[in-house]
A and B are shown apart, each in its own frame.
Chain A
Amino acid sequence: MVRAERISVWFFIGLLLLMYGIIIAAQNVYDAVHPVSHTGVVLGYLHFGIWWGILLIVIGSVYSVIFRPHKTS
């Protein structure tokens, strides 16, 4: 008989971080390509959001893959 095990909490975390990473990176890439005149953010020229988004994508991907749900018999 095949049964589903409880999904690991780390998988949920990975999935959410992956989505957050994509959203943050996409928004900040768009802003870098279409800069607005004044955002009020200090160090905005570093485009930190892009790097942080990529970091979240990497962490999220690793957790999603390593802790992905699987069926056991």
Chain B
Amino acid sequence: MIFCFAETVPLVLSGSMALPSLGWSDSLIIGLYFLFVLGIGYYLSKFTKTGEDFFLAGRKMTAWVAGLAFLSANLGSLELMGWAASAYEYGILATQWYWVGAIPAMLFLAIVMMPFYYISKTHSVPGYLKLRYGESTSMLSAVSFAFMTVLMSGVNMFAMALVMKVILGWSIDFSIWVSSITVMIYVVLGGLLSAIFNEVLQFMLIWLGALVIPVLGLVETGGWTGLVARIHQNFPAGNYTHLWSTLGSFQANPMGINWIGIIFAQGFVLSFGYWATDFLVVQRLLSAKDLRSAKMAPIIGASFKMFVPFIVILPGLIGLAVMPGLVGQAQANTTGAYSYNEVLPLMLARYAGPGLLGLGVTALIAGFMSGMAGNVTAFSTVWTYDIYRPIRVRLAKKERSDKYYLKMGRWSTIIGVFISIGTAYLVMQFASIMDYVQALFSFFIAPLFGTVILGMLWKRTTAAGGFWGLLAGTVSSIGMYVWTKIDPASLRIIALSKYAKPMADDMYRGLWCWIITVIVTIVVSYMTEPKTEAELNGLVRGCTVLPSEGDLPVWKRPIFWAVIVFIVLVALNIAFW
């Protein structure tokens, strides 16, 4: 998840490692991948004729395709490498971000929120806010989202290029330009349809490329039992293999967080904010062919998300067992030792022979490109429909044709990619920008969730309440961030413990600013006039007649599968307690 990148992304690698040189088969595998993604973009360009084709993939995707694209847009290479590193640093506790920190939110999105996104026929999350609250709230959300998305894309691009430089010896310029121009070409040609097709392809490659490590790692360590025994042998004082039993207090676990932070801040506010209101992922669901598919898609995504720790967290744990002694980045920079930020590529080098190495590297490239395509498609949609279009209509006093906005979508994709490239080079010059951009992104997510959820579930919420609540939440989040930067001791006040660590700062800041958003929205709403129930039809629970699923057999209903996924989630948490 985005919120923890600041702590875990391998922003500066030690430069001490390099994979074995690529053979002909590895190069051929990487080359074929680029050929395929470009070929898919070219092929799909003939199916992209209207704005709905370009921005919403024609709303024809099946639940499986939309669900896997939904997950793939989140499964970037920095996510893979960052969380493998976190698993080495914090142990199995990092799994919290995949289970309680993701699955309940995805199921909630599917069952409670998706009907309103889908029935309202909105093209974006700011588009929903426009229908529910009006243009001010929508514009505030759209501008912040577009700005942050394109900057984040550049930050990720630079970090990925740095990884490729260290691991493969590729120049940073080559990595940035080749990868981003490839993404730009296939998105400009086929829009969201092309992005989604490639995301599903990338999803398969990420799994099949990354699975090599846990499979061979478990063979080497003698299965899960052997793995745990070796970790305990290497780190007798550490507690790396329990998910919940160390969360009773801040000082009992290496992450410096407690169960309240994990459940209420990460598991509720931040996770729900990201999965249910970040348009980058929600856009994939809006492409579904009908409401049932739109509801099933996040459930399918959740069922795969539950097992992502197998390819992300397990390599970090295997590293603890077979490669003890990796150090933090600061120590690695001064001593030249390997950093745990490099644990995933180190594991790849350990187990992947010829061919498999190319597949593993392709998985990392695929992860980067799926994340970037997610950013640029979301950016071009929000820019075209939620920023440019209302301003243009207001100034010119007339609407333009669908073809015009299709052309605008293609141009904004190109411009978005070039801004991202510019950001990547800016970050190269001023590394500290990266931390600020990542922090900036987190300012908007938690308040936005407060605004959207109140708008969907409480008909009394007013336009003024939504706007001022969102603004107050965002400003308070920025205020708390600045406060902890100026006075690090303030963390004990924000996180309610003197033992809290920076990871707890992100979580509790999100929790507080969400609470502020909700309180301000409620207070201002009671002071202002609400819309009528007729105006809220299709937008708010209680004012909308939702399509019945009563005619479907039980096993075809989304709620049935959501319950199954939830039961598996509970079982996994108990098993690794």
Contacts and interface: CB of A to CB of B under 8 A. Distances in A.
Interface centre among B28, B212, B355, B356 (most CB of A within 10 A): B355
Interface residues of B, number: 35
Contact of B352 (A17, A19, A41): A41
B572 interface: no
A40 B355 CA distance: 14
Contact of B355 (A42, A44, A53, A59): A53
B416 to A, nearest CB: 24
Contacts of A17: 204, 208
Determine which residue in B20, B36, B356 has the highest number of CB atoms from chain A within 10 A of its CB, and name it: B356
Interface of B: 20, 23-25, 28-29, 32-33, 36, 40, 43-44, 47, 65, 196-197, 200-201, 204-205, 208, 212, 215-216, 219-220, 349-356, 359
Contact of A12 (B23, B36, B356): B36
Going nearest first, the 7 A-B pairs with the smallest beta carbon separation are A24-B355, A27-B25, A27-B355, A41-B353, A9-B197, A27-B354, A23-B25
A28 B20 contact: no
Nearest to A47: B353
Contact of A20 (B44, B220, B359): B359
Given A12-B201, A20-B29, A27-B25, A6 B356 contact: no
Nearest to B46: A6
Nearest to B219: A43
Interface string A29-69: 00100000001111110101100110010010000000000
A41 B347 CA distance: 10
Given A16-B36, A52-B212, A24 B43 contact: no
B212 to A, nearest CB: 7
Nearest to B47: A6
Contacts of A25: 355
A49 B25 CA distance: 12
Contact of A46 (B204, B219, B359): B219
Given A20-B32, A27-B25, A48-B212, A12 B40 contact: yes
Contacts of B212: 48, 52
B178 to A, nearest CB: 19
22 contacts: A9-B65, A12-B36, A13-B200, A13-B204, A16-B33, A16-B36, A16-B205, A20-B29, A23-B25, A23-B29, A24-B356, A27-B355, A31-B353, A40-B20, A41-B353, A42-B351, A43-B216, A48-B212, A48-B216, A49-B354, A53-B355, A56-B208
B218 to A, nearest CB: 11
Contacts of B32: 16, 19-20
Contacts of A12: 36, 40, 197, 201
Contacts of A56: 208
Contacts, number: 83
A48 B65 CA distance: 30
Given A42-B216, A52-B212, A23 B355 contact: yes
A63 to B, nearest CB: 9
Contacts of B219: 43, 46
Contacts of B350: 41-42
Contacts of A41: 350-353
A43 B356 contact: no
Given A40-B20, A43-B220, A43-B351, A24 B201 contact: no
B230 to A, nearest CB: 14
Contact of B25 (A9, A24, A46, A52): A24
Nearest to B193: A6
A17 B201 CA distance: 10
Contact of B201 (A13, A28, A43, A53): A13
A15 to B, nearest CB: 8
Contacts of B354: 27-28, 31, 39, 49
A13 B199 CA distance: 11
Contacts of A43: 216, 219-220, 351
Given A43-B216, A48-B351, 6 more contacts: A9-B196, A9-B200, A13-B204, A40-B20, A40-B349, A42-B351
Nearest to B23: A27
Nearest to A53: B355
A56 B219 CA distance: 20
A16 B359 CA distance: 11
A7 B109 CA distance: 30
Nearest to B24: A27
Q: Which of B23, B25, B40 has the most chain A CB atoms inside 10 A of its CB?
A: B25
B521 to A, nearest CB: 41
Contacts of B23: 27
A9 B201 contact: yes
A54 B215 CA distance: 16
